[in-house]
Amino acid sequence: MFKLRFDENRCLDCESCDCLTKCQYMEMDAETARCEMQKIIAGQDSPVLRNCATCYACEEYCSRGNHPFYLIVRQQEALGLPPLPEPIIRRGVQMAIPFRGEPLIQPIRGTALNMGVFSTLSHLARGRLFEGLTLISTDPRKMFHYFCQLMYLHYGRISVINERLGKTIQTIAAHKADQVIHFHDECYGTYTSYAPAFGIDVPFRSVHLFEYLYDRLTQLKDDIKPLNYKVAYQRPCSSRLSPDKHAFVNKIFGLVGVEHVQRRYMDQNALCCGGTITAQKRDGSRRRCLEIQHKNIEDMQQAGAQLCIFNCPACMQTLGKKVAENGIMPLFMSDLCRLAIGEKTALT
Ligand code: SF4
Ligand code: SF4
């Protein structure tokens, strides 16, 4: 079946071992990191496999083009060391099996916007920013046909992803769109990072939502009124799979006239929303999650952020209410862009 393209030789003379020394959830010097990485490559047990928060960040930290996080997940599964409790894994794997027949496939001329499993958020994709796009996966009863499966990285289940992903790719490709914009960052990461890393063919062109929003705002530039807010950005785990697209965050903020506040936990040093950490139910998981969320929100407050801009709906669900309780308004990036061109947000 599909095999991870991981070049062990690149690790042999890697002096920094950034993949593990930069990890925000484990303390490790370069020598220890090298030793643990060699153990993982050799198929042996390692504390990394047992303590990984599945934040995806080591995929970005490795500047040598290797895939340390995919390797960690593969070895978690091979050694039976799943990051989540088995009952949660069984339920999660069952939950996303497509049901109620095949979706109706309408051929698309032009560009598609793939809602993935967020069919119920289709209202976020209205207004002038999204004019001319055809939405796919708008029926919640059929959304799992469009599920990118990458969530199972948090479950330590590479086998589930590799078993199901081909069918999802076929479903999206059947629409024959010229290009596919992915509403969910995780879908973009699946088709542009995960699939190539495992040699899985993707016959459609993928576009990151933020790149699309930036291009569309540029077309509507004359209608933009600077918003003049101070904003923080909650970077989602999957964004580590497409770090080259992270630049569009600041490019969009520049266009809509908001100040991206400088803070400790931003860009490469971003903290995860904590949703997966609490679900891990290891000793102290709940406390660890609350500590991370506290550090993150306190950092936004100290930097003077008035808004917290979200990319991922799951991060919004986990952290949105908490930032609001601390006086910072949560907002999706698409809604920020809508405000800038004089439209109302999707929820108003
Ligand atoms: S995965 Fe990348 S950063 Fe980690 S040891 Fe290998 S080459 Fe170095
Ligand atoms: S996924 Fe995150 S927590 Fe796990 S080893 Fe990589 S950087 Fe550390």
pLDDT bin (cut points 50, 70, 90) of residue 53 is very high
In this predicted model, what pLDDT tens digit does every residue of 13-24 receive, in sequence order?
999 999 999 999
Q: Which of 29, 53, 78 is the last residue of a domain?
A: 78
Q: Which of 142, 170, 204 is the last residue of a domain?
A: 204
Question: Is the pLDDT at 29 greater than 70, yes or no?
Answer: yes
Q: What integer is the mean pLDDT of 149-167? A: 97
Distance of CA 92 to the CA centre of its chain: 18
Nearest-atom number in ligand 2 for the CA of 56 is 1
Is the CB of residue 74 less than 8 Å from the CB of residue 4? yes
* Ligand 2 interacting residues, C-beta cut-off 6 A: 23, 25-26, 48, 52-58, 69, 72
Q: What integer is the mean pLDDT of 127-133? A: 96
Shared domain for 186 and 225, answered yes or no, is no
Q: What is the pLDDT of residue 272?
A: 94
Shared domain for 183 and 124, answered yes or no, is yes
Tell me if residue 236 falls in helix, strand or coil.
coil
Q: Ligand 1 centre from 14 Cα, in Å?
A: 6
Shared domain for 256 and 312, answered yes or no, is yes
Shared domain for 196 and 251, answered yes or no, is no
Q: How many whole angstroms separate alpha carbon 49 and alpha carbon 82?
A: 8
Shared domain for 233 and 177, answered yes or no, is no
Shared domain for 265 and 299, answered yes or no, is yes
Least confident interval from 96-105, 122-131, 150-159: 96-105
Q: What integer is the mean pLDDT of 142-162? A: 96
Q: What integer is the mean pLDDT of 205-218? A: 98
Q: Is residue 167 part of a domain?
A: yes
| Ligand 1 atom 2, closest CA | 62
Q: Ligand 2 centre from 22 Cα, in Å?
A: 9
Shared domain for 189 and 254, answered yes or no, is no
Distances (CA, A) of 259 to 253, 277, 287, 334: 7, 30, 32, 17
CATH of the domain at 314: 3.40.50.1860
Q: Which of 78, 93, 121 is the last residue of a domain?
A: 78
Q: What is the pLDDT of residue 132?
A: 94
Q: Ligand 1 centre from 69 Cα, in Å?
A: 10
Q: What integer is the mean pLDDT of 323-344? A: 98
Average pLDDT of the chain to the nearest whole number: 96
Q: Is residue 63 part of a domain?
A: yes
Report the number of distinct structural domains present in the chain.
3
pLDDT bin (cut points 50, 70, 90) of residue 283 is confident
Percent with pLDDT over 90 in the chain: 91
Q: Which ligand is nearest to the Cα of residue 237, counting in written order?
A: 2
Q: What is the pLDDT of residue 91?
A: 94
Q: What is the pLDDT of residue 323?
A: 98
Q: How many whole angstroms separate alpha carbon 235 and alpha carbon 267?
A: 7
Tell me if residue 179 falls in helix, strand or coil.
strand
Shared domain for 74 and 179, answered yes or no, is no
Pairing of strands 206-208, 259-260: unpaired
259-260 sheet: strands from edge to edge: 259-260, 230-234, 307-310, 329-332
Q: Ligand 2 centre from 159 Cα, in Å?
A: 20
Our mutation pick for probing the ligand 2 site, out of 17, 23, 73, counting the most ligand atoms within 8 A of Cβ, is 23
Q: Is residue 190 part of a domain?
A: yes
Q: Is residue 346 part of a domain?
A: no
Q: Ligand 1 centre from 79 Cα, in Å?
A: 21
Q: Ligand 2 centre from 56 Cα, in Å?
A: 6
pLDDT bin (cut points 50, 70, 90) of residue 318 is very high
Shared domain for 328 and 272, answered yes or no, is yes
Q: What integer is the mean pLDDT of 324-332? A: 98
Q: Is residue 101 part of a domain?
A: no
Distance of CA 332 to the CA centre of its chain: 14
Question: Is the pLDDT at 284 greater than 90, yes or no?
Answer: no
Q: What is the pLDDT of residue 168?
A: 96
Q: Is residue 277 part of a domain?
A: yes
Least confident interval from 91-105, 128-142, 179-193: 91-105
In this predicted model, what pLDDT tens digit does every residue of 228-243 receive, in sequence order?
999 999 999 999 999 9
| Ligand 2 atom 2, closest CA | 55
Nearest-atom number in ligand 1 for the CA of 37 is 5
Distance of CA 136 to the CA centre of its chain: 19
Tell me if residue 104 falls in helix, strand or coil.
coil
Tell me if residue 33 falls in helix, strand or coil.
helix
Q: What is the pLDDT of residue 348?
A: 59
Shared domain for 121 and 173, answered yes or no, is yes
**Which residue's entry shows tokens 């095949």?**
102
Q: Is residue 94 part of a domain?
A: no
Tokens encoding 312: 């991922």
DSSP β-bridge partners for residue 114:
136, 182
Q: What is the pLDDT of residue 330?
A: 98
Q: Return the amino acid letter for 214.
A: Y
Nearest-atom number in ligand 2 for the CA of 54 is 1
Shared domain for 197 and 235, answered yes or no, is no
| Ligand 2 atom 6, closest CA | 58
pLDDT bin (cut points 50, 70, 90) of residue 100 is low
Distance of CA 207 to the CA centre of its chain: 14
Q: How many whole angstroms separate alpha carbon 285 and alpha carbon 142?
A: 34
Is the CB of residue 265 less than 8 Å from the CB of residue 294? no
In this predicted model, what pLDDT tens digit does every residue of 57-90 receive, in sequence order?
999 999 999 999 999 999 999 999 999 999 999 9
Question: Is the pLDDT at 121 greater than 70, yes or no?
Answer: yes
In this predicted model, what pLDDT tens digit does every residue of 162-211 receive, in sequence order?
999 999 999 999 999 999 999 999 999 999 999 999 999 999 999 999 99
Q: How many whole angstroms separate alpha carbon 182 and alpha carbon 195?
A: 15
Nearest-atom number in ligand 2 for the CA of 25 is 3
Shared domain for 192 and 245, answered yes or no, is no
Q: Ligand 2 centre from 269 Cα, in Å?
A: 12
* Cβ-Cβ contacts under 8 Å for 90 (sequence gap 6 or more): none
Question: Is the pLDDT at 322 greater than 90, yes or no?
Answer: yes
Full domain range(s) for residue 14: 8-78
196's enclosing H/E stretch is: helix 195-197
Q: Is residue 73 part of a domain?
A: yes
